A and B are shown apart, each in its own frame.
Chain A
Amino acid sequence: MATQKPSPDIRSSRLGKSEIDRNFSDLHPPLSRPEALIEADRCYFCYDAPCITACPTGIDIPGFIQKIRSDNIQGSAHTILSENIMGGMCARVCPTEVLCEEACVRNLHEDKPVEIGLLQRYATDPIFEQNNQLFERAASTGKKVAVVGGGPAGLSCAHRLAVLGHDVVVFNRDSKPGGLNEYGIAAYKTINDFAQTEVDYILSIGGIELRNNSPLASAAELSDLCEEYDAVFLGVGLALSNSLGIEGEDMTGVLNAIEYIADLRQAEDKSKLPVGRNVVVIGGGMTAIDVAVQSKRLGAEQVHLVYRRGPEQMSASVFEQTLARTSGVAIHHWASPERIIGGDHVTGVEFRVESSDDRLHLEADIVFKAIGQNMNGDGLISIALESGRFVVDANQKTSMDKVWAGGDCVVGGDDLTVSAVQHGKIAAIDIDRHLRKV
């Protein structure tokens, strides 16, 4: 006779610790030297290489690969990091299949691009392991810049400003720096606390003061920063999760995916994290995939990912969608959530199936909302916004005097570490130009 299940079924240790450790090990293990040399040999060293164009930070990819080929690993890392100081993290988390590797001409030749991401990791790993400082600061300009946000955009901007000879103070909202690199990315993409290793490397250039637990709360504070500093860069990200706006959203068990992922990343022992038996994820981006796959890998029995449109519209790449499926996540398309079912606690979700009167009913002990984030820009109303994000020009300059911005918080921000790094870099170069004119 079946015993009554406790409802809701949410508990930790659904899998043994060793199985969880295995599930959260390196998704793409690094290349060995022989593997790297053979893979590097596959690069054709294209003229005006399409991979460079496809890289948001414009890394000279054939250049760094050629240096791997000649065993000039330090030179290779310098080529990478001088365009993208987070080249280590990007080597792990970039959706290379829609960026550099999609552009690789090998796709036309044999349908198998050069493993650019893995080669980039091969070139940069030793630099971080040895804390080999490849950059030197220019003579001090005596200028001070405030960087608001300790994520990829802010740290990229801070590093470039420091290299150019400016002094920087980073105001970081969280207790640890790194932003989504520390709190957002799926754990199996960045093991061994790499996010902090990278931040330490970035800060080791000198001239950057990091102030944690220092959120920017108001327009008045922004004005103060503008008074006190020669320039301000805003890389504040998107702090608020979008809501579904449907019945039952405030029940317990309905969570913001981004918060759960942050808890997961910070957990010392992942087997202690509570996991639902039946998990429903609503959304179609990287965050949705990340929370679905990680729930499955923590031992959830059924994980359903439901997206209101088709596979082509999902912002998660094909690779990510495949990763979810092979991890055992059931993906449903063309279904929009209509109501959350349950009492105090959620028991299920009802979806309306597109172009039909059908309803999809899924049982749930936990529902994750992963339908994007937005910025609480109201407090910074003195800057021009569009769709709730800062409007910037080609140099990341906002409408406000002395203020630049980049990363997810600007119009055109695309949730990618690599794009945020580029924004920060461009802003730093423009700030430098500006400060040297003044």
Chain B
Amino acid sequence: MIMADLKTEFLGISSPNPFWLASAPPTDKAYNVNRAFEAGWGGAIWKTLGEDPHIVNVSGPRYSTLFSNDRRVIGFNNIELITDRPLQTNLDELRQIKKDWPDRALVASIMLPMDEASWAKYVPMIEDTGVDGFELNFGCPHGMSERGMGAAVGQVPEYIQMATEWAKQAASVPVIVKLTPNIADILPPAKAAQDGGADAVSLINTINSIMRVDYDSLTMYPTTDGMGTHGGYCGEAVKPIALNMVAEIARSDATRALPISGIGGITNWRDAVDFFALGARNVQVCTAAMVYGFKIIDDLVDGLSTFLDQKQMTLDQLVGKAVPSVTDWQHLNLNYIEKAVIDQDLCIKCGRCHIACEDTAHQAITNMVDGERRFEVIDEECVGCNLCVSVCPVDGCISMQQLTTGTDPRTGEPITDEKLQWTGHPNNPMRKTG
């Protein structure tokens, strides 16, 4: 069996596969990164370096978790800061790792104060270890942001541009700018990075979050000696947020040329396909490795290769494949009609489609037909909203099918091939005519 080659060049940095470990606890030191590379990871972004003296972390809970009932990790939150080891220790280990693993991508994440001198001092010192590039941490939403770094920079496009320029002036290797999602619109930060000369952006960093309260003490959970603080949210639950931001950058005229490293909840190869198809050229993983260990790389690599083989595609061809299908709401075709169809052979008669539609949507699914428990779509009521598909526990039982001829039983309007966007809709007072 010959598998698709996943060897990747990202900004000229080559790696045997496009799966890099994100800058985070798994890349805190040589021991971990050695294990990751032995397991087969394509690259690693070293846990963020800062100035000496190094910061300190809390010696209490740094993580908290959103669980499913069988304690599967759905979402994950952390208040850990950047590296809490001396800079020189990190530099020595970076140099050794690069020497031991020349075929893997090794990128240094850095976070420095907003003064040019710091960048001019530290960037060359770090580059001297042989790292393949830099990732500027403008994303961490806790702790460091209170000191004017991390997300405090990432939330102000002017700061992003300024610091990126400083980094570019001091570095001869590629510079990736890591963006925070804790903003209203991802495009201005991405554009600022681009204007500052960034070679790429990576996103998303973690999202401001409090996991829950403690039901006994009724304090937030977890706490450090009775007090807690918001952390950064990540894991499977954040993937849709990340995908939107990646797609926004990939489809915007102003930023579409900017290479993207996708981050956010990637747990299996399908998640990676989502990011690639929406414009990322490589991906970074953290939470899944923290939950399951480095061995998950096997499924990521094997699954992606198999998928590409089945699609008869290269990874390059996959990148951005779905971007043209993302548009603004106003450009959706309002003449396009779908109706839900329930496969009665697959239906297990749980009735969830009925009650969801009945209570919260359009009263378009029966619960009884001729005195029998039976769930059928009432085309006269169905708006094609996909809620029933979302709640049906049986894969493939309910599908959405397009009406191509005749009239829509709901509106009585004839089905037409002609596209009608909101921009030209008669109900739109601002419609463009002619």
Chain A residues packing against B (C-beta within 8 Å) = 34, 37-38, 40-41, 44-50, 69, 105-106, 108-109
Q: Please determine whether B350 and A46 come into contact, CB atoms closer than 8 angstroms.
A: yes
A41-B69, A46-B352, A47-B352 known; 14 new pairs, CB 8 Å cut-off, are A40-B69, A44-B350, A44-B352, A46-B350, A46-B351, A47-B351, A47-B354, A47-B367, A49-B351, A69-B69, A105-B350, A106-B348, A109-B348, A109-B393
Nearest CB to that of A69 among chain B residues?
B69
Most buried by A among B68, B348, B352, B394: B348
Write the nearest CB–CB distance from B56 to chain A, whole angstroms. Answer: 36
Q: Please determine whether B68 and A41 come into contact, CB atoms closer than 8 angstroms.
A: yes
Contacts of A69 in B (CB 8 A): 69
A247 to B394 CA separation, bound complex (whole angstroms): 60
**Contact of B349 with A by CB under 8 A:** yes
Nearest CB to that of B394 among chain A residues?
A109
Q: Please determine whether B70 and A34 come into contact, CB atoms closer than 8 angstroms.
A: yes
A50 to B367 CA separation, bound complex (whole angstroms): 12
Q: Please determine whether A44 and B393 come into contact, CB atoms closer than 8 angstroms.
A: yes
Write the nearest CB–CB distance from A66 to chain B, whole angstroms. Answer: 11
Write the nearest CB–CB distance from B157 to chain A, whole angstroms. Answer: 43
Nearest CB to that of B356 among chain A residues?
A47
Q: Please determine whether A41 and B70 come into contact, CB atoms closer than 8 angstroms.
A: yes
Q: Please determine whether A45 and B352 come into contact, CB atoms closer than 8 angstroms.
A: yes
Chain B residues packing against A (C-beta within 8 Å) = 68-71, 348-352, 354-355, 367, 373, 393-394
Write the nearest CB–CB distance from A76 to chain B, whole angstroms. Answer: 14
A47 to B392 CA separation, bound complex (whole angstroms): 12
Q: Please determine whether A105 and B348 come into contact, CB atoms closer than 8 angstroms.
A: yes
Would you list 24 pairs from A and B whose C-beta atoms are within 8 A, ordered by A residue? A34-B70, A38-B70, A40-B69, A41-B68, A41-B70, A44-B352, A45-B352, A46-B349, A46-B350, A46-B351, A46-B352, A47-B351, A47-B352, A47-B355, A48-B351, A50-B349, A50-B373, A105-B348, A105-B349, A105-B350, A108-B348, A108-B349, A109-B393, A109-B394
Q: Please determine whether A47 and B69 come into contact, CB atoms closer than 8 angstroms.
A: no
A210 to B364 CA separation, bound complex (whole angstroms): 55
A3 to B352 CA separation, bound complex (whole angstroms): 70
Task: Name the 9 nearest CB pairs between A and B, nearest first.
Answer: A47-B351, A47-B355, A108-B348, A105-B348, A46-B350, A41-B69, A37-B69, A44-B350, A105-B350
Q: Please determine whether A47 and B350 come into contact, CB atoms closer than 8 angstroms.
A: yes
Write the nearest CB–CB distance from B193 to chain A, whole angstroms. Answer: 43
Write the nearest CB–CB distance from A208 to chain B, whole angstroms. Answer: 36
The residue that B367 contacts in the complex, of A34, A38, A44, A48, with Cβ under 8 A, is A48
A183 to B71 CA separation, bound complex (whole angstroms): 42
Nearest CB to that of B70 among chain A residues?
A38
A182 to B354 CA separation, bound complex (whole angstroms): 44
Contacts of A46 in B (CB 8 A): 349-352
Write the nearest CB–CB distance from A263 to chain B, whole angstroms. Answer: 44
A48 to B69 CA separation, bound complex (whole angstroms): 24
Nearest CB to that of A41 among chain B residues?
B69
Contacts of A38 in B (CB 8 A): 69-70
A44 to B348 CA separation, bound complex (whole angstroms): 11
Write the nearest CB–CB distance from A394 to chain B, whole angstroms. Answer: 21
Write the nearest CB–CB distance from A103 to chain B, whole angstroms. Answer: 10
Write the nearest CB–CB distance from B280 to chain A, whole angstroms. Answer: 33
Write the nearest CB–CB distance from A259 to chain B, whole angstroms. Answer: 44
Write the nearest CB–CB distance from A189 to chain B, whole angstroms. Answer: 28
Q: Please determine whether B70 and A37 come into contact, CB atoms closer than 8 angstroms.
A: yes
Most buried by A among B69, B70, B367: B69
Contacts of A48 in B (CB 8 A): 351, 367, 373
Write the nearest CB–CB distance from A300 to chain B, whole angstroms. Answer: 43
A47 to B351 CA separation, bound complex (whole angstroms): 5
Most buried by B among A47, A105, A106, A108: A47
Write the nearest CB–CB distance from A304 to chain B, whole angstroms. Answer: 41
A46 to B352 CA separation, bound complex (whole angstroms): 6
A106 to B348 CA separation, bound complex (whole angstroms): 7
Most buried by B among A37, A46, A50: A46
Contacts of B352 in A (CB 8 A): 44-47
A37 to B349 CA separation, bound complex (whole angstroms): 23
Contacts of B393 in A (CB 8 A): 44, 109
A109 to B348 CA separation, bound complex (whole angstroms): 6
Nearest CB to that of A44 among chain B residues?
B350
A41 to B352 CA separation, bound complex (whole angstroms): 15
Write the nearest CB–CB distance from A154 to chain B, whole angstroms. Answer: 35
A319 to B349 CA separation, bound complex (whole angstroms): 25
A47 to B358 CA separation, bound complex (whole angstroms): 11
A38 to B348 CA separation, bound complex (whole angstroms): 21
Contacts of A41 in B (CB 8 A): 68-70
Nearest CB to that of A109 among chain B residues?
B348
A106 to B350 CA separation, bound complex (whole angstroms): 9
Contacts of B71 in A (CB 8 A): 34
A40 to B348 CA separation, bound complex (whole angstroms): 18
Nearest CB to that of A40 among chain B residues?
B69
A400 to B102 CA separation, bound complex (whole angstroms): 96
Contacts of A40 in B (CB 8 A): 69
A48 to B353 CA separation, bound complex (whole angstroms): 12
Contacts of B355 in A (CB 8 A): 47
A41 to B74 CA separation, bound complex (whole angstroms): 15
A106 to B349 CA separation, bound complex (whole angstroms): 10
A235 to B351 CA separation, bound complex (whole angstroms): 38
Write the nearest CB–CB distance from B351 to chain A, whole angstroms. Answer: 3
A389 to B373 CA separation, bound complex (whole angstroms): 35
Contacts of B68 in A (CB 8 A): 41
Contacts of A105 in B (CB 8 A): 348-350
A49 to B68 CA separation, bound complex (whole angstroms): 24
A109 to B347 CA separation, bound complex (whole angstroms): 8
A44 to B354 CA separation, bound complex (whole angstroms): 13
Nearest CB to that of A37 among chain B residues?
B69
Nearest CB to that of A103 among chain B residues?
B349
Write the nearest CB–CB distance from A116 to chain B, whole angstroms. Answer: 15
Contacts of B70 in A (CB 8 A): 34, 37-38, 41
A49 to B373 CA separation, bound complex (whole angstroms): 10
Write the nearest CB–CB distance from A341 to chain B, whole angstroms. Answer: 53
Nearest CB to that of B351 among chain A residues?
A47
A238 to B369 CA separation, bound complex (whole angstroms): 42
